[in-house]
Amino acid sequence: MPHRRRSDRVFGALLRLFPSEFRGDFGDQMSADFQDRHQEVAHRRGASGVARLWARTCADMAGSALREHFDVLRRDGLQALRALRRRPASTATVVLSLIIGIGLNTALFSVVRGVLWRDLPFPDSDRLVRISSLDSTSSGFLGSVSPGEFVDLQAHARTFSALGAGTHMQQTIVEPGEPESIEGMTVTQGFFDALGARPVLGRTFTADEFRAAGTFELRNVEAINARLQQRAAGLPPTQSAVIISHALWQRRFLGRADIIGRQLRLASGIVAEVVGVMGVEMSSLVTPLSTPPDWWMPQVPLPADRRGRRLDLIGRLAPQRTLEDAQAELDVLGANIAVAFPEANRNRVLRATPLLETIVRNIRTELTFVFGAVVCVLLVTCINVVHVSLANAAGRRVELATRVALGATRGHLIRQTLTESALLAMVGGVGGLLVAASSLRFLLAMAPAGMPRAHEIDLEWTTVLFAAGVTVAVALLCGLAASLPISRVRPWGVLSGARSGETIRGRRFRRALTSGEIAIALMLVVAAILMVRTIRSLVALDLGFDPAGVVTASLPRPSIIPLDPSGGGRMRELELQVIEQVRQLPGVLSAGVGGSPMGLQMGLAGVKLDGDTRDLGPVSLTPVSVGYFEALGARLQAGRLFSPDDRTNAEKVAVVSESTARRFWPGRPALDQVLIIPVGLRTRIVGVVGDMADVGLVTKGGGIYVPHTQLSFVTSAEMAIRTTVDPQTLVPGVRAIVRDANPEWPFSGVTTLQQQIDAAMAPRRFVLRLVGLFAAFAVVLAMIGVYGVMAESVAERVREIGVRMALGARRVDVGLMILRQSAWIVVSGVAIGIAGAVTLRQQLAAMVFGVTTLDPASYVVAVVLLAAAAFLACSIPARAAANCDPVIALRSE
């Protein structure tokens, strides 16, 4: 009957949907019943009846099979729960560590995803690139382009569908409200289009507004002065349009809907009408050193300007074009520009970098490392879960073996173990998600200030998905690892011995896992110690200046008294007057204007030696006032510092830093040499100062310093004040002096140099705190693992210990025996850990300073620390073994 056999086979296949136990109990009966019914229906109702029977049977079998599987799951779950309840202490420890482990992983995942992995909040943001102009001889990464380069690229580049550029600058809003200096950008046509950014209110700039912007200069002192005189004379002011950020709108204008059309009066003499408000996504657009811009104004790049590299250029790749296409084209265009403008573009190359990369590059190493560290913590946590499962399984060996002997398959036992770890992982996952939700705030508070995209970090569905994924991974990993020795249960062996306990293999496996825990903990401890040493090296670093007691405040220029005929000159006189008055304040040792060494440096091209036509390449130029070097505590190495006699009309002089002096005049004294500076012409070197740490802290800079009175253009500056009193007590007095000199002068950004140094160290401190926390956590977990394994070992050997003591072994010998046994675990763990740390040291290389990643002292300290902790953990079971009473030990058998 071939027909019959086919239906048999199909029904057999349906039976496979059921759990094997159920199939074994009822499969044959079900088959027999179904065949009888099939026969009967075929006989009485024909083909249509058979078809209906099959349809009903399939649906019923699927539904019933599902129910049976749930039943098995529920039973296994209850059994697992009972097993875990039998060891409340170790279960609680493991659940707690899982909650913390998964929680920390999930929280850090949110941070890493929000900052590094998530797309920028612009349409098709993976097609956005930053185009940099770089000196091919330098190792730079980001470089602004000149207006000339921008115009050339706009005319010739075909791999981009849109190009736009912007220049970061500060402007002071004078009205309405309090004077306030605010970071912003002037942007070219196409800037918002390239980003694909649209205003949430109002509009972007019109062609007319760009045309109007082409007629005035925002930063030129003479132009500003002219505008201020125009205002004083009652003439209509120069008008521009401005778009403000969502943040500024909310903060300064309280989110009022009537912001569009409001007129803002700027200290630079412009009256700007608000035409739009951009969305919050614009605050993601930062470069490593800039804060998010709060305003945008139109600018028109001048093709003839080939040296003022101040445009941050953003391009959107044309459809079907790749980054490689764009780079290939930029190589050609860059070479063409270098040929056409050898003066400005010799040795310069154009480079395309994904925009996201330019934003997060500075934090990538730190975040990736910390994330790797937290994954290590999770691994240690997992090992502890395996320990508990194995211990549960060992306690159940007789039960398991009996079940195997009675016909339970190994699959059942593995399933039971998997259910156990799934149960633990599930509690850990749900708890972890809660921990992540509540710890994210603290994590963000710990993150270095100014971390890009911090506002984009939140818990959302991918976070939940991640937590779920980790939970499943933990359950599988731990369940399978724990079932490795179980699957080798040999019922005859266990039942004949009738002693509950682990197999030798299971015991070895657990010791290997414990060694693994120690290894991971050691690696984290090594990393933490290296970071501690890094911070200590940084603190002890010779900065080239003395930050103690130095206050800095931003002093944004231009801020000129209207009606001043001599413009810039008058402004500097005013600055000098302010400095002089500040110097009179009680507790002030010295004061000056000139920008913090930790602030942005201005690179200047076109500097030449006297009698030489060669361009010396970009060199930092800082305009400073009298008292500046004294306020910072810079070290004069030769010649003199600036004096009040270095006025606008006096001989042009400069002070150079030590490294610059060496670079320009190797082997010769720099004093009295002459430099040709584009903005100041023939300049005589009157002094040499020591190099000062720049914003990177571990790198030093300096370059050329000139008296600010002798510079014809304006830069934003900072006031530096050296005090003997609490810096904060000075603030009201200085504020009053500044107000007095010019009510439109914003006085803000008061910080201490020490705070700036702390900010520069913040990313490393962030890594140190987290890695330190993770290391401590891993050490505690590893010690719990060591303790657990040794305690069980002692419990198992209690009879042997009893015999030994009955035969005359001393308590001390027994204790030592246990310690010797644990020593192997610790030694092998330490060896693996050292090997691991040495292998992975490159991951840390970018962050350590003042210590090598192979620093022997750090490794020794880490090993001693771990060995001591392990000794403590082992000494409890060792003491228990030593204090064991042989009579009781032997009676228990």
Which residues contact other proteins (rule: CB under 8 A)? 18, 22, 25-26, 28-30, 32-34, 36-37, 56-57, 60-61, 63-65, 67-68
Structure tokens belonging to residue 123: 């349409």
Identity of the residue, 37 or 810, whose beta carbon is nearer to other proteins in the bound complex: 37
Closest approach of Cβ 44 to other proteins, in Å?
12
User: Minimum Å distance from CB 19 to other proteins?
Assistant: 11
Nearest to 397 by CA among 293, 320, 506, 258: 506
User: DSSP secondary-structure letter at 280?
Assistant: G
Name the minimum Å distance from CB 57 to other proteins: 6
Instruction: Name the minimum Å distance from CB 82 to other proteins.
Output: 18
CB 114 within 8 A of CB 121: no
Closest to other proteins by CB, 63 or 586: 63
**Phi first, then psi: what are they for 720, rounded to 5°?**
-115, 130
Cβ(694)–Cβ(700) below 8 Å: yes
Q: In the complex, what is the shortest distance from the CB of residue 92 to other proteins, in angstroms, rounded to a whole number?
A: 32
| Residue 56 or 820 with smaller CB distance to other proteins | 56
Please, what is the minimum distance in Å from the beta carbon of residue 60 to other proteins?
3
* Whether residue 558 has a cis bond before it, omega within 30° of 0: yes
For the record, the structure tokens of 771 come out as: 């890695």
- With beta carbons less than 8 A apart as the criterion, state whether 362 and 288 touch: yes
DSSP output for 127-188: GEEEEEEEETTS--S---B-HHHHHHHHHH--SEEEEEEEEEEEEEEEESSS-EEEEEEEE-
Angle at 825 between CA 819 and CA 830, to 5 degrees: 115
Nearer to other proteins, 65 or 825 (CB): 65
Query: What is the rounded (10 degree) CA torsion for 403, 408, 412, 416?
Result: -10
3 state DSSP class of 650: coil
Q: How far is the CB of 75 from other proteins (least distance, A)?
A: 10
Q: 17 or 444, CB closer to other proteins?
A: 17
Of 636, 635, 631, 641, nearest to 550 by C-alpha is 631
Output the smallest distance, CB 70 to other proteins, in A: 11
Q: Which helix (H) or strand (E) holds 585?
A: none
Q: What are the structure tokens assigned to 601, written together? A: 């440096």
| DSSP label of 595 | -
Q: Which two tokens stand for residue 13?
A: 């296949």
Q: How many helices and strands, by DSSP H and E, does the chain display?
A: 26, 24
Cβ distance to other proteins smaller for residue 65 or 881: 65
As given in the structure block, the two tokens for residue 593 are: 């204007």
Residue with smaller CB distance to other proteins, 26 or 210: 26
Q: Which is nearer to other proteins, 19 or 562 (CB)?
A: 19
> CB atoms < 10 A from the CB of 543, how many?
21
If the CB atoms of residues 62 and 888 are measured against other proteins, the closer one turns out to be: 62
Q: Which is nearer to other proteins, 48 or 613 (CB)?
A: 48
For the record, the structure tokens of 338 come out as 């270098």
Residue nearer to other proteins on the CB measure, 56 or 668: 56
Strands 312-317 and 160-175: antiparallel
Judge contact between 610 and 675, C-beta under 8 A.
yes
Residue closer to other proteins, measured from CB, 61 or 593: 61
Phi and psi torsions of 454, nearest 5°: -60, -35
Half-sphere exposure of 253 (CA within 13 A, CB side): 22
CB of 423 to other proteins, least distance (A): 22
Give the bridge partners for 633, in sequence order.
none
Question: How far is 755 from 82, CA to CA, in rounded Å?
Answer: 56
CB of 417 to other proteins, least distance (A): 24
Judged by CB, which is closer to other proteins: 62, or 465? 62
- Nearest-angstrom CA–CA distance, 829 and 518: 5
Q: Which is nearer to other proteins, 28 or 178 (CB)?
A: 28
- Beta carbons of 523 and 836 less than 8 angstroms apart: yes
- Name the one residue in this structure whose structure tokens are 């078809």: 51
Own/partner contacts of 282-287, CB < 8 Å, gap of 24 or more, are: 282/197, 282/245, 282/246, 283/245, 283/246, 283/247, 283/455, 284/120, 284/121, 284/359, 284/452, 284/453, 284/455, 284/456, 285/120, 285/195, 285/359, 286/359, 286/450, 286/452, 287/142, 287/312, 287/358, 287/359
Q: Are the C-beta atoms of 110 and 453 separated by less than 8 Å?
A: no
Q: How far is CA 638 from CA 515, 596, 653, 689, in A?
A: 60, 22, 14, 7
Choose between 82 and 891: whose C-beta lies nearer to other proteins: 82
The answer to whether the beta carbons of residues 696 and 640 sit under 8 Å apart is no
Nearest distance in Å: CB 51, other proteins: 15
Asked whether the CA dihedral 770, 773, 774, 775 is positive or negative, the reply is positive
Tell me the closest approach of the beta carbon of residue 31 to other proteins, in angstroms.
8
Pick from 436, 443, 445, 442: nearest CA to 465: 436
Closer residue to other proteins (CB): 65 or 440: 65
